Structure 1
Amino acid sequence: MLPFVFTQQAPSYDSAKVFYVRVDPGIGVSDELIKSLYYLLWFPGYFGFNWDALYDCLRDFEWIPCHKIVVFHEALPPLDRKELKIYLEVLRDSVLDWRSNDTHELEVVFLCSDKMEIEDILKG
């Protein structure tokens, strides 16, 4: 079972309690996606702009005051399949890692229409 949340529409949250970011659905290059997440999630200056650095920062969040962090995707990023698989694995592993830690909660949200494709990509 996937650790992501699937919804019919963009969720809404209390901005005083939840740090909410929306990933631009038009980003089709992994370097641009990583750079966008750097800005959206306020990653520290030492961020390395690669998949490993993304995973490391998704597992930290000491700079974000809210307990819950939500990363919403209104569409799967149009990356090539190999890069998209890496991205989804980084997100999946990060969400799972936070489950054993109560400092923060990471919630990654996709639309229901993307669920089967995500399952297929992560199986491959």
Structure 2
Amino acid sequence: MLPFKFLDKSPSYDAAEVFYVRVDPNLSISDELLKSLYYLLWFPGYFGFNWDALYDCLRDLAWIPYRKLVLVHEALPSLPEEDLKVYLEILRDSALDWGGDQEHELEVFFRSADRRRVEKLLVNARC
């Protein structure tokens, strides 16, 4: 079972209670996605702009003043398939790692229409 949530419309939260981030649906290059997440998620200056750095920062989040981080995708990024798989794996693993009684909670949302593609990519993803 995936830790993601799939909805037909963007979720609504009280901005005073969660750190809400909307990922630009027009991103099509991995470097652009990493750069966008760097700014949106207030990553520290040492962020390395690669997949390992993304995973490391999503597993830290000490600089985020809220317990819950909500990451909303109104569409899947138009990345090359292999990069999209890696991105989804990082989000999945990070969301699962924050599960339970942790300092932070990561909620990741996708459109309901993207559910099958996300599931297919992760089923075929490397272990």
TM-score range, shorter chain: over 0.9
1:71 aligned residue? 71
2:88 corresponds to 1:88: yes
SS of 2:75's partner is coil
How far apart are residue 100 of structure 1 and its match? 3.9
1:7 partner letter: L
1:113 partner letter: A
SS of 2:72's partner is strand
Structure 2 CA distance, aligned partners of 1:68 and 1:6?
18
* Structure 1 spans left out of the alignment, 5+ residues: none
How far apart are residue 123 of structure 1 and its match? 1.1
SS of 1:115's partner is helix
Structure 1 CA distance, aligned partners of 2:100 and 2:85?
24
Question: Which of structure 1's runs of 4+ aligned residues deviate more than 4 A?
Answer: none
How far apart are residue 102 of structure 1 and its match? 1.7
Structure 2 CA distance, aligned partners of 1:27 and 1:114?
16
TM-score scaled by length of structure 2: 0.96
1:31 aligned residue? 31
1:112 aligned residue? 112
Structure 2 CA distance, aligned partners of 1:23 and 1:43?
15
Q: What is the RMSD of the two structures over their aligned residues, measured on CA atoms?
A: 0.7
Moved more, 100-109 or 24-33: 100-109
Structure 2 CA distance, aligned partners of 1:101 and 1:92?
17
Structure 2 CA distance, aligned partners of 1:17 and 1:104?
12
2:99 aligned residue? 99
1:46 aligned residue? 46
Q: % of aligned pairs identical?
A: 65
Structure 1 CA distance, aligned partners of 2:25 and 2:105?
23
TM-score scaled by length of structure 1: 0.98
